[in-house]
Amino acid sequence: MITRADFDIITSWVRPKSRVLDLGCGDGSLLRYLADSKQVRGYGIENDEPSLIKCIDNRVNVIQTNLESGMKEMADHSFDVVILSQTLQAIKHTEAVVSEMLRVGRGAIVTFPNFGYWKHRLQIGLAGKMPVSDDLPYQWYDTPNVHLFTIHDFEEFCRQRGYRINNRRVLAGDIEATFLPNLTGTLALYKISAG
């Protein structure tokens, strides 16, 4: 099993035997990791057919649907945690999805690439081009990202809606970025709940 620093942080925020919903779960690696390390009972939501097959190979329960509309039929607080890992920037209706996450789950974990990272700022400022890096490997014309935002933007989003930030960690690669994280961090991880 591949281990990633963000998986370890997410796992540390999830209680053993929790009920977990992973939105845009991809190949199911995170849910498999959580099941193996914390014995969670989980479901993934995924719409991409090749990823669905990989979920089945990973022995992950998966529902084929669009994550932006896939929670409508779910009861309030039917999960302990709803996870949206490195997908928030690619969804169209951010407010509605986060609101639904906090309705369906008792809490949520959201991770996203930080567009405020200094190298990204430098590419825009000096080269006058949209950033391309290991963390953002797409060109402007083929990127799945529809929202470009920073750590400060997300925290303001939470504040304006009364969401409680219970925990925050910021990574620069596999290392925690503690000094000026909006400038030095490439990946932000938040544990949030309804206020």
Q: What is the CATH number of the domain that holds 16?
A: 3.40.50.150
d(CA 18, CA 114): 28
**120 within domain boundaries:** no
What is the phi/psi pair of residue 121, to 5°? Answer: -60, -40
> Which has more pLDDT, 129 or 104?
104
Q: Which two tokens stand for residue 195?
A: 């206020």
**135 within domain boundaries:** no
- Its pTM stands at 0.91
**133 within domain boundaries:** no
pLDDT at 130: 77
Residue 179 binned pLDDT confidence (cut-offs 50, 70, 90): very high
**43 within domain boundaries:** yes
Can you spell out the DSSP letters for 66-102? -TTTTTTTSPTT-EEEEEEES-GGG-S-HHHHHHHHH
C-alpha to C-alpha distances, 88 to 2, 43, 149, 159, nearest whole angstrom = 23, 18, 10, 17
**132 within domain boundaries:** no
- Arithmetic mean of pLDDT, 5-30: 96
pLDDT at 1: 39
**119 within domain boundaries:** no
**180 within domain boundaries:** yes
Structural domain of 49: 5-114+148-193
- Arithmetic mean of pLDDT, 39-62: 94
Q: How are beta strands 187-193 and 105-113 bridged, if at all? A: antiparallel
Q: Which amino acid is at 148?
A: L
Please tell me the total count of domains within the chain.
Answer: 1
Residue 189 contacts by C-beta under 8 Å, 6 or more apart in sequence? 6, 9, 10, 109, 110, 111, 168, 169, 170, 171
**136 within domain boundaries:** no
d(CA 1, CA 51): 17
